[in-house]
Each structure stands twice: as structure tokens, then as C-alpha cells.
Structure 1
Amino acid sequence: MTGPPPAVAAVRVAVRRALPSAGLVLIACSGGADSLALAAALAFEGPRAGLRIGLVTVDHQLQEGSGPRAAALAAWASKSFDPVLVETVTVHAGAGPEDAARTARYGALSRVAAETGAAAVLLGHTRDDQAETVLLALARGSGPRGISGMPARRGVYARPLLDLPRAVVRAACAGLDLEPWEDPHNTDARYARSRVRELVDTLGEKVVANLANTAALVAADCAELDAQAGRFPLGPSLAVEDLAGLGPALRSRVLRRWALSLGVPGGALTRRHLDALDALVTAWKGQGPTQLPGGLPVSRRAGRIVATPVGE
């Protein structure tokens, strides 16, 4: 008996390894080659594992015909998935169209996951996507968190295809006679990821694999440092002597955890804020308080780093 084409088998094995033991598994599907191949693999592997499977597609309303396209994808999915959900979002211009669309998309996916009690939401990012993420992080001057790329798992989200090249995933679509939708934004030079994608294609598969390996190595280092920082006791204030005894990388993570524990939103906490906090420990010359996002002043008093709410 002849088995599936090698590319189809590779995607199915990747999905099988990522499945939870029980519960509802959702696939976030745009209709592009990566998520379409992932959806087909989940449709095959999910029921065999005794799992409920559902599909969510997000209509960003950024392109003409996006509504009918989402409806057509939902109709295709209804043969194998339940529930099938079309989430229509409004993308608000912010730092850039890509970031704004990503924020809207993940907001919708997280809400759906919570409402349905999903055990996992599968995302169709490949090894090429990981390489693009690393290059974008380097171009933006990101630190280790950015260079570590996308995690295979974080919370409810899982990325089964991170170890597979995009070419293999596209071959899986061809092997199953699936017709993916080609997002014009992927070749639009106005978008940073599109320009980086062209560079990745030029660099070749060996460089893509090396960039993905770099992300995995940096992610492992970050995880270890985060674990060490997690063992540092936090409180309303922190002793300067204890902080000064930590290495810079570890101290930065402790200060970040402490700021988050005070209610500072993580998305607003920048390197500049952390450097200002660190200066209260390592370069204090009597300077006044530094302001964290949300208007929270932090100062050094009697050998401790203290957050002082406005009015005190």
C-alpha cells in the first residue's frame, strides 16, 4: 500500500507531535499554503487522536474580496472541522500596518480560544518564517528576546511547522491538490516582512536553517536566564545590594519582572526604561526618580529601589 507523498507525511508527523492529549484543537487558517497544509494535516491527525478540531479564519478587511474569500474557506473547512469561525476584525493604524494587523489577529484568536476552551491553537509558521523573524529582529536592533524568534509553544499557541522548510509545506499542498491563496502583501515591497522574505529566498536553505538554529540557541539561553530571574524574590521594593550582585543580563530580567509586577504593561516597557532602572542600581549619583509607563515613578531610597505612586 502506497503511503502519502513525503511532504504530506512530514507535515502530518509534525502535527501529530504537537497535539495535546485531549480537548478542542483550533487551527488559525488564512487560506495560504502554510496554514492550509497545516489544516489538512490536522483534519487527518486530529480525529485519529480522538480530538475535536475547529478552524478559525480572521478577516482583516484590508483587501478587496476578503469577506467572500473567508466565507469560501469556511465552507471548505465545514466538511472536516467543527466549529468553523470567521472572525472579522478592524485593524487600527499604529506603529505600522503589519503590527496593527498582527495585534488584531491575535486578539481575535485569543478571544476565540478562551470562549471555546481550546486546548491548543495551531499556527502555520515555518522555518522560513522563523528566519525572517530573526532577520527583522536584527534589523530593528532587538535584544535576545527578539532574536530568539517565535517559540514552538507559548500558552495556548503551538507552531508545529517551525522545523519544516516552506518548500516542504508548499509541496504538501501540491501533494493534496490544495489550492492556496497567495496573499499579495507577501510580495508587496511596502511591507518589511516582504522585503526580508525576498532576502531569505536569496540567502538559500542553508542560511535559513542556520538562522532558525540561532533562534533556538538564543531561546534556550533566554529561558534559562528567565528561570533564574524567576527565583529572585520580588516585593514592593528591591534591595540595591542584592541587585548589584547580579550579572547585567540577569539583573535586567529581574527589573523587568518587578516592573511588570507593579502593573506596568509589558508592551510599553522598553529597553530605555530598563536602562533607567538599572542606572538607579549601578550608576546612582543622587538622581531623581525615573518614570515607568503609566506615569509610575521609581526612585532609590535608603538602599532600595522603590515605586512611589503619584500623590505620595
Structure 2
Amino acid sequence: MQGLRAPLTKPSHPPSLRRLAERTIRDEALFDRGDRVLVACSGGPDSTALLHVLALLRRTIGHDVVGHGIDHGLRPEARDELALAAELADKLGVPFEVTRLDVEPGGNLQARAREARHRALQDAAARRGAAVIATGHTADDKAETVLLRLLRGAGPRGLAVLEPRAPAPVPPSGGGTPRDLVRPLVRARRADVLLHLDRHAIAHARDPSNLDPRFTRVRVRRELIPLMEELSPRIIDHLCALADMLNDVRPEEDPMSELGRAQRKTIEKAQKKGVRIVKIRMKGGRELDVTFPAGKIVLNEKK
């Protein structure tokens, strides 16, 4: 008598990066068939994988892809890194352009470089007729950003970071409609990105600043998160879920939720002293007048 055979079962594999991106694009309605998507690509692993995945999905979703790189003029290696991205784009049949900026060294360098980069991407998207701008942020980036905001004393809205689709932080230089930012890889882990690049033998660059412990994000990534993962192996998932839940908190419930710690303290001190109006400055040079009618806090943007 022959022994009973165990039923054949197919091994379970985690979803591929391509599948994770497709799910996010469809579930979050990041863009539609016929839309042109401008991919911000630096040549690093995340944005390189994003460029490749969105190119692969063109036939499935029906969108068009153009690539764009930004050279801030701060690192000589950036030129070679962007050349890698341009080479991949050429193989994929994706048009690729580079904007070269001249960000002067000095105070608040990272913030100034970030604003200049976003404006250059907005300008490129407007010029190329793109509906949205795609960036390569992953779930790991999202979790790290939550922790960075916590360390800086952010409120609930300040922790609602890196949504799959978000308004542009700056408008195009010439005016016009700003393009939303979309993050097709925000449900994927950094390990998914590296596996995809390895599986498809895709060359990519590594930014040495991502290993520099002088940057707080690097210490969060390389020191804090590994320690937290020892205590809670799913801490990345938990932090991302927290950010998603807090995204449902409406700004009107806490008028100061999007302000930094220093701005909140300034307003709280003024309210305690009985000051009728206090002025605060926002990013990009915007100014707000804060008033306290009937004990409430009201933010009024100056025209």
C-alpha cells in the first residue's frame, strides 16, 4: 500500500517591488492612464528602482514616464551618479534630463538645497507636461521621518509624514499649477528595493553622506532603528501606521499642528502673557499673524 502523499503547496513569496508599487498606485489613485509622470532620480538605489519599476508598469497602467535628475553642485560625484541614471533611462526608452543648480555653502544648507531641488522639479514637470512628480521614498524613509519629527517635538499633524500623495512644497518658478508629489514605493521596504536592483542587475550609486554620523537621520537609521527593532521587530510597520492614522487628524482640530516646536512655544508664551497678536515666520518666508479671540488660537496669513 502506497503511503499518502502530502498535498503539493506552492511556496509563499513576498510581493515584488513592482507589485507593491502597482498596488499603491491603484489603491491611492496616484495617477491615471495617459498621465505623464516625472520621476526624480538621483542615481541612488531608491530612485533608480523607482525609475525602473515605473518604466516596467507603463504597459500595465498606461502612463508615460520621463526622468529628471538634480545636481546641486555640492558633490563632484553627483555628475557620475546622474550619468548612471541617464544610462538606465536610455535602456528603458525613458527621456532623461538634468538640472544643475548652484547652491551656495553656508547656513541651513540642507533646507536651501531641498527647496531649490523641489522648485527645479516643479519647473521640469511644468515644461514636460507631467501630471505628478514621483519620488523614491520607502517605508523605511517614512519611519525615520516620524522619529526625526518626534525628536524635534512635532505635534500630531507633524508626524503625518510622507503620504502616498502630497501637495507640492513649492510652486513652479514661473507660476502655474504645482504638481503633486507621489510616492509609489512608500509601502515597500528598503530591502525590497535592494532585492529588485540585485534581481535585475541594475547599476546604482551610493551617496556617502548616507553613512555620515554627523547627520541626525543617519544616526536614526543606523543606531536608533536597529535598537528599536530588537525590542519590536515590526517597528517600521508600526511607525508607518501611526503616520497614516495621524494623517486623518484635521488641521483645524489643532491650529498649531503644522508648526515647529520653537513657533509653538512663541505662541504659547504670548497667549500666557495676554499678548493680543504675535508674528511668526514660516518656511519659504511666509509670515503669520497669530491672534487669540475668546481664548482661541487663530493663524492669519499675511497678504
Which category of TM-score, normalised to the shorter sequence, fits these structures? 0.7 to 0.9
Write the letter of the residue equivalent to 2:228: L
Q: Which amino acid aligns with 2:225?
A: V
Q: Please tell me whether the aligned partners of residues 57 and 85 of structure 1 are also in contact (alpha carbons under 8 angstroms).
A: yes
Change (3 A) 1:276 1:33: same
Which residue, 211, 218, 221 being the options, matches 2:239?
A: 211
Q: CA deviation at 1:8?
A: 4.1
Partners of 2:136 and 2:63 in 1: CA distance: 19
1:203 CA drift (Å): 2.8
Match of 2:22 in 1: 13
SS of the residue 1:150 aligns to: coil
Partner Cα separation in structure 2 for residue 138 and residue 11 of structure 1: 28
Q: Which 5+ residue runs of structure 2 have no aligned equivalent?
A: 1-12, 168-179
- C-alpha distance 201-32 of structure 1, shift in aligned 2 (>3 A): farther
Matched residues in 1 for 2:295 and 2:78: separation?
A: 58
TM-score, scaled relative to structure 2: 0.74
| Corresponding residue of 2:8 | none
| Aligned-partner SS, 1:55 | strand
Partner of 2:278: 290
What one-letter code is carried by the residue in structure 1 that aligns with 2:198? A
1:174 matched to 2:198? yes
1:302 and 1:99 map into 2 onto residues whose CA distance is 37
Q: Which residue identity is paired with 1:180?
A: H
Q: Which residue of 1 aligns with 2:99?
A: 87
Report if the CA contact (8 A) 1:47-1:53 is conserved. Answer: no
Q: CA deviation at 1:29?
A: 1.1
Question: In 2, distance between residues paired with 1:8 and 1:290?
Answer: 49
Q: Distance in 1 between matches of 2:299 and 2:67?
A: 47
Q: Could you tell me the percent identity over the aligned residues?
A: 31
Structure 1: gaps spanning 5 or more residues: 230-248, 257-265
Q: 1:154 matched to which residue of 2? A: 166
Asked if the contact 2:37–2:64 (Cα under 8 Å) also holds between the matched residues in 1, the reply is yes
Q: Which residue of 1 aligns with 2:225?
A: 200
Shift of 1:210: 0.9
Query: Aligned residues, how many?
Result: 266
Distance 1:297 1:119, change over 3 A: closer
Q: How does 1:12-91 map to 2 (within 5 A)?
A: 12-14=21-23, 16-17=25-26, 18-91=30-103
Matched residue SS, 1:220: coil
Offset at residue 60 of structure 1 (A): 1.8
Name the structure with the higher helix share.
Answer: 1
**Higher relative contact order by CA 8 Å / sep ≥ 6: 1 or 2?**
2
1:138-195 CA-partner distances (Å, limit 9, x unpaired): 1111112221121110132111111111111211111111122111111111111111
SS of residue paired to 2:73: coil
Partner of 2:188: 164
Relative to the length of structure 1, the TM-score reads 0.72
Please, what is the CA RMSD of the aligned residues? 3.5
* 1:186 aligned residue: 210
